[in-house]
Amino acid sequence: MRKQIAAANWKMNLNLQQADDLLNEIVSKNIQLSEDQQAVFAVPFPYLLLTKEKIKNSKNFFVAAQNCYTQESGAFTGEVSAAMLSSIGIEYVIIGHSERREYFSEDNQILAQKVDVCLKNNLKAIFCCGESLEIREKGSQNQFVENQLKETLFHLEASAISGFVIAYEPIWAIGTGKTATAEEAQEMHAYVRNVFAEKYGNDVAQSISILYGGSVKANNAKEIFGKPDVDGGLVGGASLNGNEFSEIIQSLKS
Ligand code: PGA
């Protein structure tokens, strides 16, 4: 089975004490993950090493950064490179979250560079895509998402795409309490998988983990994750609550 992943996206939340408490709470639950299941914690940069230390005895728990810069090093005050993240043992980086696209003007070309620099530094990208409400209301969400994937990922070799992680996050469902229905998620996930199948073949497409994001909670995770092409979720608000996120991890397909 391809990897089933519950990824917490803390965004710009929590102080050090709160981060410490939340990690302690989740780790103390001693959640046992199978070989194909993963829990990933995308925490703010100042908490990366703390998180790494806290989860070190939890099997299949990983740490993610929420962003990195396009360049390897140099005079880019305030930025963090993929090489730095790799050097401290981080496994994943979220690339292309809709908040980065919207507030920091990250377009498909910039994101393609970020994906490349991650791969070069042995970091796995969790690549986000997803349409706005306006696009969904026009019915052009499939073309829009397909274009995001093509412009950012289609220059990669099949070997790089194999086992890749995509997060489909409809913007209208992020932080709004409004989720796509499990059926809407499945429909888009199947579409996305097919976009990869056409370019890279079915075996590669079947190896890609496609996470759903947008108001995933403990009370809807099981239904959404249960759909055949939904391989877990990228979770914002609910990942800040230890009980909620623990239940979400335990809602992964096994
Ligand atoms: P949300 O955020 O779960 O709070 O909707 C998801 C995300 O932005 O990754």
Give CA–CA dist 195/118, Å, rounded: 22
The partner residues of 235 in beta bridges, in order of sequence, read 8
Asked if the model's pLDDT at residue 176 lies above 90, the reply is no
Which residue of 40, 215, 240, 247 sits with most ligand 1 atoms within 8 Å of its CB, as the best mutation to test the pocket?
215
Asked if the model's pLDDT at residue 188 lies above 90, the reply is yes
CA of 243 to the centre of ligand 1 (A): 17
| pLDDT tens digits along 77-132 | 999 999 999 999 999 999 999 999 999 999 999 999 999 999 999 999 999 999 99
CA of 75 to the centre of ligand 1 (A): 32
What average pLDDT does the chain have?
97
Pairing assessment for the beta strands 232-235 and 165-168 based on DSSP bridges? unpaired
Split at pLDDT 50, 70, 90, the class of 59 is very high
Give me the DSSP letters along 97-143.
Answer: -HHHHHHS---HHHHHHHHHHHHHTT-EEEEEE---HHHHHHT-HHH
Q: Is 155 a catalytic residue?
A: no
Q: Is 189 a catalytic residue?
A: no
pLDDT of residue 1: 85
* Domains of the chain and CATH, by start: 4-249 (3.20.20.70)
Catalytic residue among 99, 106, 131, 169: 169
CA of 229 to the centre of ligand 1 (A): 19
- In ligand 1, the atom with minimum distance to the C-alpha of 98 is 8
CB-defined site of ligand 1, < 6 Å = 9, 169, 174-175, 213-216, 234-238
What does pTM read for this prediction? 0.97
Catalytic residue among 97, 131, 189, 244: 97
% the chain with pLDDT above 90: 96
Give CA–CA dist 203/223, Å, rounded: 26
pLDDT of residue 180: 87
